[in-house]
Amino acid sequence: MPYIKIKLPNNGKKAFVILMEHLKIPLSEAQKLIDKKRLFCDGILVEEKNKILNGLVELIVYENKPKGVDIVFENDDFAVLEKPSGVLSHPNGRHCKYSLCDEIWALWGQNACVAHRLDKETSGLILVAKHKNSQSSLKKMFENKQIQKEYLALVGGGTLDSFKVDKAMDLTKNYDDIKTRMQICKDGKEAITEFKRLDFWEEFNTSLLLCKPLTGRQHQIRLHLFHMKHKILGEYLYGLEKKDIEKILDGKMSLKERFELTGATRLLLHSYGLKFTYKNENFYIQSKINIKEEFQKALSIKI
């Protein structure tokens, strides 16, 4: 989602007043835009909300460029979308050319937002709050563990029919600016995941697992499976050298090399189900993607 600059009329008024009058937004929203470093006067960043602006006033805004997205479910308060692998849940800076917000804001406006996030390469269901009231409610439900998430993962080797990993985790101590990474540690935050094997693909020596995280730690499923020596195919943050991780993150590694290093051309993790109660109504929303077919595509690159 690229940024563009729009010109605002300037009558020598205070910065927040110019924003409120032109955009027809409340004071709090105007202040947020200034705090987010979006307002400029004569090319210089405006950081003082009460500053009188005399000159060319410009505001950085997002320019939505939707490509189309599958809507699995929708009502007045929220929607559930199928996020493709390789798409960011939310723009991560001015150099981000496209994210799921391009779709969300084009469909429901900028008050809509994701209620939780998925890693860039994780595909599948993502819950979207369509307005601020539902945003507050849904985020609290996630915090209170009132929304159960289910994932499908394809891992190397044969696993037990069912197993549970109860291993605390936290940010790695030797964080090296590649990306936020986690580690198993005794003094970390509680992290529990239940796993059930759904199928064994003998041709690829891989197991298809249903994964149920009972806690919501970052990279929880990825790290728990890596710890259990059943690494998710396509996994790159855990198990590769720094130089290879950087090549993948920077988009400089070929699909062939990625396949040879990780066993797949993408991370084979898919958000499959969301189960919760909202306004006294029970929901169990499941992905409609043929994930077996999708996973097998990532396993069959011609090299």
User: From residue 21, how far is each of 26, 29, 132 by CA, in Å?
Assistant: 9, 12, 22
pLDDT, residue 10, reads 80
pLDDT, residue 60, reads 87
The pTM assigned to this predicted structure is 0.83
pLDDT, residue 303, reads 46
| Residue with the two structure tokens 């950081």 | 47
With cut-offs at 50, 70 and 90, classify the pLDDT of residue 133: very high
Whether 119 is a known active-site residue: answer: yes
What are the backbone angles phi and psi of residue 186, rounded to the nearest 5°? -65, -35
pLDDT tens, residue by residue, 17-68: 999 998 889 999 899 899 988 899 999 999 999 999 989 999 988 778 899 9
User: From residue 162, how far is each of 35, 99, 175, 199, 263 by CA, in Å?
Assistant: 49, 35, 33, 12, 23
pLDDT tens, residue by residue, 83-96: 999 999 987 755 57
pLDDT tens, residue by residue, 161-217: 999 999 999 988 765 656 668 999 999 999 999 999 999 999 999 999 999 999 999
- Indicate the average pLDDT of the chain: 92
pLDDT, residue 2, reads 59
Please give the average per-residue pLDDT across 253-275, as a whole number.
96
The one catalytic residue among 35, 102, 119, 187:
119
User: From residue 47, how far is each of 18, 93, 163 by CA, in Å?
Assistant: 14, 19, 53
Please give the average per-residue pLDDT across 242-268, as a whole number.
93
Please give the average per-residue pLDDT across 134-150, as a whole number.
96
pLDDT, residue 65, reads 85
